[in-house]
Amino acid sequence: MNKGKLYIISAPSGAGKTSLIKKLVPNLENVVVSVSHTTRAQRSGETEGIDYFFTSVSNFKEMISQADFLEYAQVFDNYYGTAQSSVERSLNSGKDVILEIDWQGAAQIRRLLEGTISIFILPPSTEVLRQRLQERGQDSPEIIDRRMQAAKTEISHYAEYDYLIVNDDFNTALTELKSIILARRLGIALQQNQLKALLVGLLAY
């Protein structure tokens, strides 16, 4: 059995990465999304253990001290982190794992795990990004302004990633995201192992 691949997907808030990932996963076999721990408040419609593991700041810091996180970062006034054990368990079972994390976490992962594939999703413009944040109806104008400033910082790290996708047309961006994962699965190293019996038969003719 081939070991799964780790994918990092980053984007500024409002660029649509969460919507893309939620649409992608049901359409691909053996793909799971790593559920992060966070200290931020649970929003309406979010489910514990599905969207996030919601925890206190004190508990989060205790997990840091015990080296439980593969990566963690402070974003605005909240902490976010990826538990190492759950990611390794999924990868070892042959599943590809998607981490939806920011550039800080992505940098930590790259240093730890060689071969990680990273994808950055861009909005088509700053105007569209602000409009999407406003249409979500989750944040005050002051918070939206903070998110727009943070978006500039996030986007400035785009060159550290392996792939760039512009989420202008949703279906096009979804197809491009899916293509990256499918192309990797068709690589010679994986296919040679997966199609061993077929190759033996073809070469024995």
Give the DSSP per-residue string, 155-205. Answer: HTTGGGSSEEEE-SSHHHHHHHHHHHHHHHHTSHHHHHHHTHHHHHHHHT-
Q: E strands of 19-152, at which residues?
A: 31-33, 37-38, 53-54, 69-75, 78-83, 96-100, 117-122
Written out in words, the top-level CATH class of the domain with range 6-34+96-203 is: alpha beta
Domain boundaries, the chain: 6-34+96-203
Model pLDDT for residues 140-177, shown as the tens digit of each residue: 889 899 999 999 999 999 999 999 999 999 999 999 99
What CA–CA distance (Å, rounded) separates 20 from 163? 15
Model pLDDT for residues 32-86, shown as the tens digit of each residue: 999 999 999 998 888 998 889 999 999 999 999 999 999 888 887 899 999 998 8
What CA–CA distance (Å, rounded) separates 119 from 9? 5
Whether the pTM exceeds 0.75: the reply is yes
